[in-house]
A and B are shown apart, each in its own frame.
Chain A
Amino acid sequence: MMERNLLDIRAESDELTTDKMWVIMGPQHPFSHGLWTLKVELDGEIVTDAEPIIGYLHRGWEKECENRDYPKIIPMTDRLCYAASMTYSHLYCMTVEKALGIEVPEKAQYLRVVADEICRISSHLMWLAAVGTDLGNLTVFLWSMREREYWMDLFVRLCGARMTTNYPRIGGVRNDITELFDRDVDRCTERFEKALWDIIALVDDSSIFVSRMKGTGVLTREQCVNLGITGPAMRGTGVDFDIRRDDPYEVYDKLDFEVPVLNDGDSYSRYLVRVEELFQSCRLIKQAMQKIRSIGKNAPYRLKVPSKVPAGTAMCRLEDPRGESMMYLVSDGTEKPYRLKVRSPIFVNVSAAKPLVVGSRVADVPVIMAMIDMCLGETDR
C-alpha cells in the first residue's frame, strides 16, 4: 500500500471513506505450506481480489531431465513432491514403458498399486494435518501425523526409505515385497480404519469445524471444470471422474473400489471426499495384497528393458492424491529424453485461487486453500 499523508486523504473528500488494502500472504506465511504467495485485496475482512504468485522453487526440472539417462531420472521424480513421491516415479516409469511399448509383469503392477495407495494415504494424512493447523487446532495435526507414521514405517519395510522412495523401475519395481511388509500391511490397514474414526469424530462431530468449512470456497461444476481443478477438489464439486476408474491404468480395472462424489462444491464436501478416499485406498491395498499373495513369491516383478527409447511421443496420466498428473515424453531415439513435460495438478489448481477465495473472509482463505493441498515441489518444478 502506498504511503499517504493524512492531510491528503482529507483533501480528497470530506466524507469518511475506507481504502481497500493489499495483504501479501507469503512466501513466509503460516498458511502457505510452502514457498508461494497469495496477494489478497481486502475490504475490511472481505477478500475482493486475489493473485497467486509462484516460482520461488523453480529448478528447471524438465530441462534437467533432458540432460540425463532414462533410469537416472527416477530418483529425480521423487523430488517433485515430498508427500506423494511414489506417484510421480510410477507415472514416469509408466510413460517410458509406453514409449518402449512393453507390458510390465502383473505382480509389478499390483505392487505399484499398493505403493501408490499407501502414498495416497500418507499424502492425505499430511493434508488432514495441514487442515488442522489452518483451522487453529493442533490436535488434528498431531493425530494425523501419528497415523501417517505407521504408513511411513510401511514404506520403510517396502523399500527402505520414508519419503524419497525410489521404488518403481522402468519395466517393473525394484524389489519384491519383504516378509516384514507382508506381515505388517494388513495390521496397519485394519488399525488405520479404526483409528481414522478418532480424527473424524474430532472434526466432523464438532460444529465449529463444520461451520468453518461449510459454505466457503463454493464453486459450481462448470466453473470448476473450466478452471481445470482436478482431484478431490473436483470430485467435491460434483464431477464424477476418477482416472483410476474411467481411464484405468495398471490393474485398477480389476480392483473393486468406489469414487466418492459430492455436489455441494464447498470446502466441507472436498474434505469429506478426501476422508472417504482414505477408506477406499485401504480397500484397494487389501485387495491388491491378496492378489500379490496369490500370484506367488517366484513370479517376476521386473523386466529387462533397452536403454534406448525409440523415437516418438508418449503420454500417460495418473490419479495423483492431489489430482490428475500427466507426463508427456518426446524421445528422439537416444538414451536421454528429448523433452519431458510434467503436468502438475497443483499448478492448475492454484491458478484458480482467485475465483475460490474472492468474496470470502480473510479467515477462510487458509481453509479454502488447504482443500487444494499445496505442494510446491511439483508446482514450480
Chain B
Amino acid sequence: MDTEAIYQKPTEAEIQGLLEARFGDKVRVTETGTRRVYADVDREVLHDVCVYLHDHMTFEHIQSLTGVDLVDNLRVVYHIDNYFNGCVVELNVDIPNDDPHVRTISDIWVGGNWHEREAWELFGIVFDGHKKLERLLTPDTYEFFPFRKSYKLRGQE
C-alpha cells in the first residue's frame, strides 16, 4: 500500500493496513467494526500517527480525548473522526503513572485544546507542548487530580 498517498474515504481495512505498514508494531490494530477502528499506540509515535491520520487520511476532527486511570497505569483515548465517510479511529495510549507525559495534539487539531486541559486537571496527564495547560473546570487552587481512582468519594471508601 502507498503510505504517502492521500485517502479521502479510507475503508477500515485500508486504515488498518496503512497504519501497520507505516508504523510497524508500534501501532497495533486490535479490532475493527463498521466505521470503527480500534488501535493501541505507543506514546512515542502518537503525534506522528495523528499527523498521518490528519494529513493523509483526512481525519479532520478530534471528537474527544479521554483520560482513564487504570490504577496500574494511565491511559489516554483519542477518538478521531473522518467527515467524509463517518469513520472513527480510537487510539489507546498507555502511559506510566510515574511519568504521565504525552505530546500534545492541539497543534494538529485546535479542538483538542480544552480536552487536553480537562484531562490534565482531572487526571494529571501532562501534555507536552500545550500552550496553556491550566485548570479549566475546577478552581485554580486545587492541588489534586479529582478523577483519579486514588481520590475517593464519600461512600466509595
| Contact (Cβ within 8 A) A324 B63 | yes
Q: Kindly identify, within residues 11 to 44 of chain B, every residue whose CB is under 8 Å from any CB belonging to chain A.
A: 35-36
- A241–B81 Cα distance when bound, in Å, is 11
Chain A residues 339-374 with CB under 8 Å of chain B are: 339, 341, 343, 347-348, 351-352
The answer for the CA separation of A60 and B69 in the assembled complex, in Å, is 15
Cβ A226 vs Cβ B109 within 8 A: yes
Please, how many angstroms separate the alpha-carbon atoms of A58 and B153 in the complex?
Answer: 15
A103: interface (CB < 8 Å): no
**At the interface, yes or no: B136 with Cβ under 8 Å from chain A?**
yes
Summed over the interface, the residue pairs from A and B with CB atoms below 8 Å come to a total of 90
Residues of B in contact, count (CB < 8 Å):
35
A315 touches B110 (CB 8 A): no
Check: A330 CB closer than 8 A to any chain B CB. yes
Q: How far, in angstroms, from A339 to B88 measured CA to CA in the complex? A: 20
Task: Judge whether B35 and A315 touch: CB under 8 Å.
Answer: no
Q: B146 contacts which chain A residues (CB < 8 A)?
A: 60, 63
Are A227 and B138 also in contact (CB < 8 A) when A324-B63, A326-B64, A339-B69 are? no
Q: A55-B136, A328-B77 known; A67 and B111 CB under 8 Å?
A: no
Q: Is the CB of B60 within 8 A of A247?
A: no
Residue in B closest to A239 when the chains form the complex, CB atoms: B83
Interface check A380, CB cutoff 8 A: yes
User: Given the complex of chains A and B, what is the CA–CA distance between A343 and B80 in angstroms?
Assistant: 13
Q: In the complex, what residues of A have CB within 8 A of residue B90's CB?
A: 315
List the B side residues contacting A64 at CB < 8 Å. 153
Chain B residues in contact with chain A, CB under 8 A?
35-36, 60-64, 66, 68-69, 77, 79, 83, 85-86, 88, 90, 109-115, 118, 135-139, 146-147, 153, 155-156
Q: Could you list some 20 contacts between A and B, CB below 8 A?
A: A54-B136, A54-B137, A55-B136, A60-B147, A63-B153, A67-B153, A228-B111, A228-B112, A240-B83, A241-B83, A246-B86, A315-B79, A324-B63, A339-B66, A339-B68, A343-B79, A347-B118, A351-B113, A380-B137, A381-B137
When A and B form their complex, which 10 residue pairs have the shortest distance between CB atoms, in order from nearest? A228-B111, A247-B86, A246-B86, A343-B64, A58-B137, A55-B137, A351-B114, A341-B66, A241-B83, A225-B60
Known: A67-B153, A339-B66, A341-B64. 12 other contacts (CB 8 A): A66-B156, A225-B60, A226-B111, A228-B111, A229-B111, A313-B77, A315-B36, A317-B88, A326-B63, A328-B64, A328-B79, A338-B68
